[in-house]
Structure formats: C-alpha cells, structure tokens
Amino acid sequence: MRTQPLVRRPLFLAVFVAIPLASQAQGAKTIDEGSFTITVNGQRVGREDFSIAGTPTGRGTEYIAKATIVMGDRRLMPAMQADSSGAPMTYQIQTRSASDQEWWSGTISRGRVDARMRTAKGEARKEYIVTDGAIILDDDVFHQYFFVVSRVRSGSIPVVIPRRNTQLTLAIASAGPDRVTIAGKELDATHYVLTEPSGTTRDLWVDGRGLVLKVAIPSRGVVALRDDPPAA
C-alpha cells in the first residue's frame, strides 16, 4: 500500500473534484428504488433513499447506484458506477454532519484502488491492491447488498470497505426461505447469512428477484427495513 502524506490546508481552499459518474444513458432501466428505515436496538435513527439503474452494453448490464442516507445530523451520499458483475469502476461518498465533512472517491481497476480522501485534517491519497472483481459494501449503506446476491448466493465474495480503506472476504450461506413484513404485507424472502473472518455475522433478506428487503447487523443492533415492497 502506498500512502501520500496529508496535505494540510484550510478546507475552504480545497477544490472538490467529483468522479464524473456516467449519466444514465438512453435505454437505462430502473432495477430498484425505494427507501429503508434504519433502527439501532429498536429505535429509529435514520433513513436511506436509493436507486439502482442498469444500462445494457455489449459487456452486459452496467449499473449506476446512488443513495442519500440520513442518520441523526449525519448525511451520507454514496454514488457508484459498476460493471456487469457488480464490481465498481468508480465510487464516491460524501459524509456531512453539523460539525464536519469528509469525502472519499476512488477508481477501482484491475485489482487496484486509487483513492482520494478529504477530512478536516486535510487531503490524502492512497493506492492499494484488492482482489480483482471485489464489490463495494460501505458502512451504513444498505442498498449495496444487492450486489452481493447478484454475484453469488453460496460461497464467498471479496468486499472493499472504502472509508476504512480495507478489504475482507464474506462467506455467504443460505438460511432458507423466510417471510418479511413490510408496510403490513408479508413477503416471501430468502434469508442469507454473511460471515466475516472474525466470525461477526450480517443477515440479509432478498425477494425472488434478488432485491434487498432487510439487512440486520446483530453485533451493532442495526436493522434496515424497506418502507414499501419493491415495485412489481
């Protein structure tokens, strides 16, 4: 891993350079959109509004996935362009609160991440190696679990956690059919258990199309549940 030192400068002088995510091309199709209510230990703490769109190409469907997550006074705004396997080509996320702002952006190609970060301490750049084809699964962003089950439903998958500048491998196993109640309706679902190398687990429920209905992270007491069933 190569790290360039922080460039310390007043934030008001820092120039924000966003990754130019491709606009939704003609023929793009909405794959999923909606919102999740986020709770911690049963108490509502936030909401995620998201959209995932796909554009057919000669290499398969390419994705644009975006969201706005509000948790207390903190707002996260992730945006990703991914290839047909769900592996990211570009990713950026802004985090804002009443007292601070952070920004992470990066390109991911041929197993290498080239990332730029900006915090109150200044700006830095990091380059590091990840498994080729790894997907993004950022902390506190829940629509991205769609890309887990779109890739594999049994076995393992490499995952990059951008703001931690790290990678881990999740083992994935089906816990079988289940039901999830959303807006008073019981929906058929498949329950998956995702296990980190440390043994920490995450639970994921998806419908028959692989659309995310619910995510639970027991170690943190976090649950993200859709507000409405996915559109037919």
**HSE of 83 in the Cβ direction (CA atoms, 13 Å)?**
14
Contacts within 8 Å (CB) and 24+ apart, 96-101: 97/73, 98/73, 101/11
Among residues 158, 161, 155, the alpha carbon closest in space to that of 141 is found at 161
Q: Are 172 and 154 in contact (CB under 8 A)?
A: yes
Task: Express each pLDDT in 130-175 by its tens digit.
Answer: 998 899 999 999 999 999 999 999 999 999 999 888 899 999 999 9
Residue type, 219: S
Q: What is the mean pLDDT of residues 98-103?
A: 87
Q: Are 24 and 64 in contact (CB under 8 A)?
A: yes
Task: Express each pLDDT in 159-217 by its tens digit.
Answer: 999 988 889 999 999 999 999 999 999 999 999 999 999 999 999 999 999 999 999 99
Residue type, 82: A
DSSP element (H, E) containing 149: helix 146-149
Counting residues of the chain whose pLDDT is more than 90, the rounded percentage is 72
Among residues 44, 34, 114, 27, the alpha carbon closest in space to that of 67 is found at 34
